Structure 1
């Protein structure tokens, strides 16, 4: 018993130490964004001056990021959900090859994907100068994170049985897909949607190569603020970034917990 308690406290201390090591820099950055003078610290007083300055100078980058993330979600839903359905119903080496090709952008550095897009479409001036060019890169990067969770749900035997039962009752393919497949795959669709939005808002490497001076997303603006502005302004920008990202990450975790509880709950008799 004494050894178990000692092991528990040792693990607890280690976990708290790691958490402090990771969270203390984040906390200091947030504090720097709401203090009048970072070098003096909280003693200099708290203020939202730097936050308002960021919103005034970089609001276009925030709105562009949110717009691209929303468009990226729509495109990945339109492509990823039907694609996951096809892969779930396709057996054999062909389906596995397609699945691996979809996941391939995760293994390739974002800079390499961006360079490939520039080499291929960089000569199309109107496309290169438009925000849809960045959207194309984001879709390539985030599509696997939509397909994988949806595919995991659609590949379950229970969903196949429900669809077969609906087909035996005379339901058309459209009726089965809209009324059986999509409602039962909503957990995977929601998880994929949250991941796509989160990754699109925070994506930097790929966007750094694709952006132009007139098209700066939130992470690009954050890097720009750290390079050219006061540390307080950059920290306030980081605070705004956290305010957008943290709720999405929390939603992913909450949904994962609710899904886990629902799976372990015994079925009603």
Structure 2
């Protein structure tokens, strides 16, 4: 009976993986095909479209812009939010309920609505940031708050933060010394999960990037939108390249995390 259930569960998981991977596999085949029209299978394979994409200075610039904005927003989130989360969890745990409501506010306002307000607010005056990467970094910082806060808060609850701090105090460590040397290393997994979730969401964000910056600081998604009327093979190569960049960064982060654990 257990063997039948195991086979059934594996079959369901395998079928689900196939369903999820089938569109991606079809996109990859189309990106590598020289021509694919009326026939079931491509008439030939080529690396022309991938080479053309990665030799395009505009694509490389857009990819660099996206990485700079995403990493800057994530760095700002960790530097500003992580100490605040420690203070709330250790000194003011009663505020956790209020924070759970506040961090959802970025998702309560649609990006189109918030973009219109930001355009009116930052298009002129002393803080004219429209069309610059700075306004996107600020917007992406607010978007990452729910991911950062929830993942790290769950990690803090799992490691029993107060017990760790009390043990460190008994051994003679100060509060912030214990936070840096004892608590922070135990939050590595939670931080990594939060950063990966945030990065995968930010690098695919389009509405804010297109409305607030557009072609003045073209990001990867804006570039993909601008090239939508080109060759379908070229567009498929962009989608596959986008997926591979995210997959590569995720693999690097997991490798670094495993190396530290070893």
> TM-score, normalized by length of structure 1?
0.81
> Where does structure 1 lack aligned partners over 5 or more consecutive residues?
263-269
> Where does structure 2 lack aligned partners over 5 or more consecutive residues?
none
Q: Secondary structure at the match of 2:216?
A: coil
Check 1:43–1:197 CA distance in 2 against 1; reply closer, same or farther (3 A cut). closer
For residue 265 of structure 1, what is the aligned residue in structure 2? Answer: none
For residue 267 of structure 1, what is the aligned residue in structure 2? Answer: none
For residue 44 of structure 1, what is the aligned residue in structure 2? Answer: 43
Q: How many residues align?
A: 254
Deviates more, 1:185-194 or 1:236-245: 185-194
Partner Cα distance (2:174, 2:151) in 1: 25
Partner Cα distance (2:104, 2:178) in 1: 28
For residue 120 of structure 1, what is the aligned residue in structure 2? Answer: 121
Whether the aligned pair in 1 keeps the contact of 2:77 and 2:148 (CA below 8 Å) is yes
Whether the aligned pair in 2 keeps the contact of 1:38 and 1:231 (CA below 8 Å) is no
Check 1:111–1:248 CA distance in 2 against 1; reply closer, same or farther (3 A cut). farther
Whether the aligned pair in 2 keeps the contact of 1:87 and 1:95 (CA below 8 Å) is yes
For residue 211 of structure 1, what is the aligned residue in structure 2? Answer: 213
Kindly report which structure 2 residues correspond to 1:146-165, keeping only aligned pairs within 5 A, or say none: 146-156=148-158, 158-165=160-167
Whether the aligned pair in 2 keeps the contact of 1:73 and 1:193 (CA below 8 Å) is yes
For residue 241 of structure 1, what is the aligned residue in structure 2? Answer: 242
Whether the aligned pair in 1 keeps the contact of 2:159 and 2:186 (CA below 8 Å) is no
Whether the aligned pair in 1 keeps the contact of 2:136 and 2:209 (CA below 8 Å) is yes
Check 1:145–1:203 CA distance in 2 against 1; reply closer, same or farther (3 A cut). same
1:97 aligns with 2:98: yes
Partner Cα distance (2:170, 2:16) in 1: 56
Partner Cα distance (1:118, 1:103) in 2: 22
Kindly report which structure 2 residues correspond to 1:64-83, keeping only aligned pairs within 5 A, or say none: 64-83=65-84
For residues 195-227 of structure 1, the C-alpha deviation after alignment (integer angstroms, 9 at most, x for no partner) is 22222212223323222212221122122222x
Check 1:68–1:158 CA distance in 2 against 1; reply closer, same or farther (3 A cut). same
Partner Cα distance (1:193, 1:252) in 2: 10
Partner Cα distance (1:153, 1:234) in 2: 39
Q: Secondary structure at the match of 1:202?
A: coil
For residues 10-49 of structure 1, the C-alpha deviation after alignment (integer angstroms, 9 at most, x for no partner) is 6655555544443222211111111222326764322222
> TM-score, normalized by length of structure 2?
0.83
Match of 1:34 among 32, 35, 44: 32
1:23 aligns with 2:5: no
